[in-house]
Structure 1
Amino acid sequence: MRRRLLAALLGGALLTAGLTGCGIPANSDVQVDGAGPAAGAGSTNGGGSQPVTQAATDDPKEFVRNYLAAAAGEREQADYRVKQFIAPEAKSRLRKKQSSEIALTVVRLRESPEARSNSDGSYDVTVRVQQVGVLRADGWLAPPAAPETEYRFKLRPAGSGQPGLVLTDLPNVLLLSDEALHSYYVEHTIYFWNSDQTQLVPDQRYLPSAVPAERRVTEVVKWLAGGPSDWLAQGVTRLPDGTAPINNATGSDERWEINLAMPGANEPRLARLATQLAWSLSELSGQLDLKIQNQNRLTVDLKQERLDNPAYPTIGSPERYSLYDGAIHPLSFAGESSGTVPVAAAANKGIVSAALSRSQHDILAALVVTRADRKQRLMVGSGPDQVTTFNGTGWYASVGRPTWLRSLDPQHRYGLVVVDKRLYRFDDLAGLKLIPLPGPVTAVAASLDGHRIALIVDGALYVAAVSLDGGVVSVGQPRRLVTRLTGLTAVDWYAENQLVFAGSELRSEGRPERSIYQTTVDGALDTPLKRDVGAPVTHLAAYPAHLAAYPGGPAGGLPTGSYMYEANRVAYRNNPPDTIKRDQVLDVAPPAAGAKASNPTVPFFLY
């Protein structure tokens, strides 16, 4: 269900990514508003298609675009496909590597390639790029390694009666455009247990879309045995050292067999591995026979395993709220359920930001309140239906929007908040503990699994792993994500492996513009959701689009890919795109005669 839902939702988003991946057309002012997240685990972006493997075109720009897709697909054939584009005298420029060593430099074209024709019939083509990352053989998109902002190519006619063009001079690196990444690869999520093995944590990988199902099973097992992506490692647990597939997985849609070497494979460890495999192979159903050193040890019904062991905490139906005159109020939209205010009236005043979260049978509330001198403090509390008792921090110059770290352990109720441009952990007693990070921090948002966060540090977007060992919250080395936007002001989680964020972009006509974008957790996707916002986005909140597709997720509720934001003290929603009006705010008194009504501000979700 999850695969079908996300694949259907993302057709439009991927088309948009394809149209915008090579720069913003100079004559286009189209706004893409409300697109869903990119393809989820197990869904196919490219429908099994393969990149162009020959260069029969006389258009030098098209030729280079095709070349930037040639390395896509299975690694064993990457070198062969690329060399079909290269003149015989230039093929030595690319050193042949083993498929396990091949790493593809993924780039985003800032604009259309520039081509110049020469008197001898050759062409010089320049491609200006943004470095996105390095796609490794294990499917992980590592951070960028190259400094180049442009690449130059020289082309000539193929000659000898052959149509098209060939490369005579080219960069000595295997390049892959982000368009080709999304066209010819599957975004596939695998899962690792957190440090105390109570929660699964997603890790995004890429697999050529043409790879058949049985090969996908084998690759997923290799990925799990190889360990998590580097940036995620601090927040998760690896499989035991020495774990490795003995041979390829076998089977069909109804019965699969995996044979592993796995030291210390006792029953609890195998049970955890079964859950890990069921979610990492979430597009498959049927039975999985798990063998250790050729011995049958466990048979798993993949679908039932996912039902019995949800990837995320069970949550209720989502509800929308906003602030109105410094107090929390429910929002009411047609077709959506509205809740009651889960904060006692005595505490529901002077609020400038808030985060509400469900934790088993309790509501967790973190409120940022202000006083006459504009100093701010964080107030934290919890309760079964309505939070009546709060604990407070000291007063500070500024306190950002707080975020709760969701956990299956009711004893570990922690969140993160930015105070005076530094990141702090808070607990349900409002105790603050500094988490040192380089650079000024202006925003933080936590994923639903509670072990990954997004940060805005010095105006740039980062992700980091979070560990909760023994109740001690620590944050791993942040990874910077590449995006077209600069001067970022707000961020939230848009889906399991998706972020929505706001900042400034320089349009092709040289005009800066405030925009809202979405990206993947590795920065590979960079798709505009809303352009020309008109003012800096000061608040941004999203409802993760993948929740309803999971066992335990809410039925119905909000449209997929819902987010709300505030700009210039006006609140907006994206489904449908519109301002949030006063008459959509519940339980507010009408303004006095002749008085101007206030605007709803700081919209957010409770789920």
Structure 2
Amino acid sequence: MRRGVLAVLLAGLFLPAGLAGCGIPAQTEVQVDGRPEPTAGAGSLNGRAAQPPSRTASSEPAQFIRNYLSAAAGEREEAYARAKKFIAPESAHLLRAKQQSSEVDLTVVRLGEDLVVSPPSNDGTSVVTVAVQQVGVLRADGTLAPPVASQTRYVFHLRPADAGGTGLFITDPPNMLLLSDTALRSYYDTHTIYFWNSDQSRLVPDQRYLPSAVSPERRVTEVVRWLAGGPPDWLAPGVTRLPAGTAPINNATGAGDHWEVNLTMPGANDFKLARLATQLAWSLQDFTGELQLKIQNQNRHTVDLKKTREIFPLYAPSGAPERFCVYDGVIHSVSLAGEPASAVPISDEVNKGVVAAALSRAGDEVLAALVVSRSNRQQRLLVGTDPAPVTLFNGGGKWYGSVGRPTWLRSLDQDHPAGLVVADGRLYRFDDMAVMNPVTLTVDGTVTAVAGSFDGHRIALIIGGALYVASVSVDGNAITVNPPRRLVTRLTGLTAVDWYAENQLVFAGNDAGRPAAIYQTTVDGGVETPLKRQIGAEVTQLASYPGGSAGSLPPVMYETNKAAFWNNPFTIIRREEVLGVAPPAPGVRAPNPTAPFFLY
């Protein structure tokens, strides 16, 4: 019988993250404006913009359009009215009237680096052409759903205000409310809520967006509505919804250390209420004090938010992550900038011919998955699970042309440790006997990388050079990868991915057609940030530790051009930083460390 693992999930970490146009006058020169959109608005909240800029904040055409692409940000009820102020009165009907409600969807677009502007003509009109990526649809429930629109550019015709007025007006707006990804970053907070997995033993995170300038009462109200409304489509197969018919009754009430929530909840017994209370305690991580649950106006359950989080901690590793790499086919510890290093938890007898590895802690055991190579460069997977050092490995199965870096699924079921690995372009599940079974995916394409999250119920995949996320259902020996959702990224031809935080990914690919760059993105692809650009060669392996302390950048290591690098700053890992390696003989060129990874 295997020993129990650490209790549930990583606590929330949100780390700083991110043309030829029809109608352009033929007699004017085209200018390129590549300035970033400012984040300052009317007032601020915790150092962030509280309200998007007004129509008259800028009369420079490119900046005017950037401001327009922020106008819908904030409280949904006023989104249409704010955007309408930027539109010429004679053109206001071009925005659909049905969008005047709190249920309006916002089309989120990622702007190209340049806005193309034609100088004003004799009558003061001008044209701004904006290249975009369709990122998704920001819904009223705070989720960023996959994109629906397909436009790759928008062309805006501008005219000056009528006599006596100031600023510009748009004369031909798109018939949807647009929101730039920069505005999403500037005027919204990311907020994590939690759903129980299928057997209600572990909480699984879900990311939502909430306008940054909202009251505490509104935050509590929205969290209750989000939980009652259920998870997004891609996550839903892997988690448990609240009982059908659960819905809030009016808004949450209270202040400070006491809050009350009134809702309908069919079959609301003590078990279900206790489970909901734990969800709420973690979905309201910045709240302390008491929260009183009422079912149709009857007091049914009172939860101490802070104490509940202490009793039921989210999954977190013990101790600092340990760095390892492969040096000349052998796994070695790595010590960077004076960091402590531990012994390699693999016996010397099997620590040879390694090209990639994944190690994970499960109680007092180490789960080890090694990709080894033989002389004809074929590769296979070896798996061992024991207290360190792991001496007995299972393998001997099929050899493949290529096997990627494995990932362990952090399940609570210690009797059935399992992981995922890519071999010859297909995704496989493996167990502690190194038996590999193909995993059926609903997306066609060559699979090149897979990475598992801290909670063990979500994975990231690279399929056909694109980034996907999927929920994972675990039931003993049965592991189901549910239909993946594709994320929109600025990079193309992606090669590597890992989890960067609870709801963030780090990935590598081609940047504007040039290899390579490493970017960070949210789990829904909404907010994307470059971490390292102009690497110059393909990133072949990428590893991060998603459990860093709040306010610190998660450590990242990667392999490119047969050498390993780390991100503090992005520099090569030197042979001298690899422990247990003897200096090379005179005249012999030492190999570089490769295949870096973390143990936690």
TM-score (norm: length of structure 1): 0.90
Which residue identity does 1:441 align to in structure 2?
Answer: V
The 8 Å contact of residues 47 and 210 in structure 1, kept in 2 or not, is answered as: no
The code of the aligned residue for 1:567 comes to T
Deviation at 1:579, TM superposition (A): 0.9
Letter in 1 for 2:64: F
* Superposition map of 1:174-323 within 5 A: 174-323=177-326
Matched, 1:51 2:57: no
Indicate if the aligned counterparts of 1:324 and 1:599 stay in contact, CA closer than 8 A.
Answer: yes
Of 447, 471, 481, 1:465 maps to 471
Contact 2:10 2:455 in 1 (8 A): no
> CA, structure 1 residues 241+587, in 2 after alignment: closer, same or farther (shift >3 Å)?
same
Match of 2:580 in 1: 587
Identity, % of aligned positions: 63
Matches for 1:13-52 after TM superposition, within 5 Å:
13=17, 47=48, 49-52=50-53
- Work out whether residues 46 and 186 of structure 1, in 8 Å CA contact, stay in contact via their aligned partners in 2: no
Aligned residue for 1:468, secondary structure, equals strand
Q: Which region of structure 1 is more displaced relative to structure 2, 467-476 or 279-288? A: 467-476
Shift of 1:156: 0.9
Q: In the TM superposition, what whole-angstrom CA distance separates every residue of 1:96-154 from its partner, at most 9, and x where no partner exists?
A: 23524310000011133222223322112211111110001110000111110011111
Alignment check: 8 A CA contact 1:114 1:125 kept: yes
Matches within 5 A, 1:55-66: 55-66=56-67
Within the alignment, does 1:409 sit opposite 2:435 as a pair?
no
Is the Cα contact below 8 Å between 1:55 and 1:84 reproduced in 2?
no
Contact kept in structure 2, 1:285 and 1:301, CA below 8 Å: yes
Which residues of 2 match residues 352-501 of structure 1 at below 5 A? 352-392=355-395, 393-437=397-441, 438-501=444-507
The answer to whether the Cα contact below 8 Å between 1:46 and 1:182 also exists between their aligned partners in 2 is no
The list of structure 1 runs, each at least 4 consecutive aligned residues, that deviate by more than 4 angstroms after superposition, is 2-7, 24-28
State the 1:333 CA deviation.
2.2
Deviates more, 1:247-256 or 1:592-601: 592-601
Tell me the equivalent position of 2:29. Answer: none
**Alignment-derived partner of residue 84 in structure 1:** 85
Q: Which residue of 2 aligns with 1:99?
A: 101
Structure 1, residues 261-319: CA drift from partner, whole Å, max 9, x if none?
A: 11111122111111111111111111111112212122111111111111215433210
The question of whether the paired residues in 2 share the 8 Å contact of 1:399 and 1:419 is answered with yes
- Give, as a single letter, the amino acid of the residue that structure 1 aligns with 2:412: L
Offset of residue 493 of structure 1 = 0.5
Matched, 1:326 2:319: no
Larger displacement relative to structure 2 (50-59 or 105-114): 50-59
CA distance in 2 between partners of 1:88 and 1:4 (Å):
49
Equivalent AA in structure 2 for residue 294 of structure 1:
N
Letter in 2 for 1:373: N
Q: 2:416, 2:476 within 8 Å by CA — same for their partners in 1?
A: no
Give the C-alpha shift of residue 476 in structure 1.
1.2
How far did residue 589 of structure 1 move?
A: 2.4
Q: State the partner residue of 1:19.
A: none
Distance in structure 1 (CA, Å) of the matches to 2:134 and 2:563: 35
**Of 584, 595, 606, the match for 2:599:** 606
Alignment-mate amino acid for residue 195 of structure 2: F
| One-letter amino acid matched to 2:78 | Q
Q: How do 1:540-551 residues align onto structure 2 when only pairs under 5 Å count? A: 540-544=542-546, 546-549=547-550
Offset at residue 53 of structure 1 (A) = 3.2
CA distance in 2, matches of 1:191, 1:537: 33
- Label 1:26 to 1:76 Cα distance change in 2 as closer, same or farther (>3 A): closer
CA contact (8 A) 1:381 1:428 kept: yes
Offset at 1:371?
0.7
Provide the rounded CA distance (Å) in 1 between the counterparts of 2:564 and 2:515: 19
Partner of 1:20: none
Helix, strand or coil at the partner of 2:483: coil
1:71 aligned residue: 72
Report SS of the residue matched to 2:92.
helix
CA distance in 2, matches of 1:157, 1:5: 47
Note closer, same or farther for the CA distance 1:439–1:26 as it changes in structure 2 (3 Å cut).
Answer: same
8 Å contact from structure 1 (residues 46, 209) kept in 2: no
- Alignment RMSD, CA only? 2.2
Counterpart for residue 120 of structure 1: 123
For structure 2, the residue ranges without an aligned partner over 5 or more in a row are: 1-8, 19-31, 37-44
Q: C-alpha distance in 2, partners of 1:485/1:45? A: 31
The question of whether the paired residues in 1 share the 8 Å contact of 2:55 and 2:64 is answered with no
Residue identity in the other structure for 1:134:
V
Cα distance between partner residues in 2 of 1:64 and 1:360: 55
Secondary structure in 1 matching 2:225 = helix
Q: Looking at secondary structure, tell me which structure has more helix per residue.
A: 1
SS of the equivalent of 1:65 reads: helix
CA distance in 2, matches of 1:586, 1:199: 37
Counterpart residue type for residue 292 of structure 1: I
Q: Which amino acid aligns with 1:334?
A: A
Work out the CA distance in 1 between the residues paired with 2:502 and 2:52. Answer: 28
Amino acid in structure 2 at the alignment position of 1:534: G
Shift of 1:168: 1.3
Structure 1's 189 and 45: CA in aligned 2 closer, same or farther, altered over 3 A? farther
Which residue in 1 is equivalent to 2:112?
A: 110
TM-aligned CA deviation for residue 360 of structure 1: 1.5
Question: Alpha-carbon deviations, 1:193-220, whole Å to 9, x = none?
Answer: 1111111111111011111111010001
Query: Shift of residue 409 of structure 1?
Result: 2.2
3-state secondary structure, aligned to 2:157 = strand
Distance 1:348 1:99 in 2: 62
Is there any run of 5+ residues in structure 1 with no aligned partner, and where? Answer: 15-23, 29-43, 550-557
Distance 1:27 1:219, change over 3 A: closer
Kindly provide the amino acid, as one letter, of the partner of residue 485 in structure 2: R
Bigger drift between 589-598 and 574-583 goes to 589-598
Moved more, 50-59 or 472-481: 50-59
8 Å contact from structure 1 (residues 46, 185) kept in 2:
no
Provide the residue aligned with 1:536 in structure 2: 538
The one-letter amino acid paired with 1:105 is: T
Q: Which residue is equivalent to 1:560? A: 553
Q: Aligned partner of 1:211: which letter?
A: V
Alpha-carbon deviation of 1:335?
4.0
Q: 1:460 to 1:222 in 2, by over 3 A?
A: same
The structural deviation recorded for 1:162 is 1.0
- Residue 566 of structure 2 is matched in structure 1 by 573
- Cα distance in structure 1, aligned partners of 2:381 and 2:560: 23
CA drift of 1:336 comes to: 2.0
SS at match of 1:120: coil
User: Deviation per CA, 1:28-74, whole angstroms, max 9, x where unpaired?
Assistant: 9xxxxxxxxxxxxxxx8873601123335321111111110000011
Aligned residues of 2:521 and 2:529 also touching (Cα < 8 A): yes
Q: State the partner residue of 1:32.
A: none
SS state at 2:171 partner: strand
Secondary structure at 1:163 match in 2 = coil
1:249 and 1:257 in contact (8 A); partners too? yes
Deviation at 1:27, TM superposition (A): 11
Secondary structure, counterpart of 1:101 in structure 2: coil
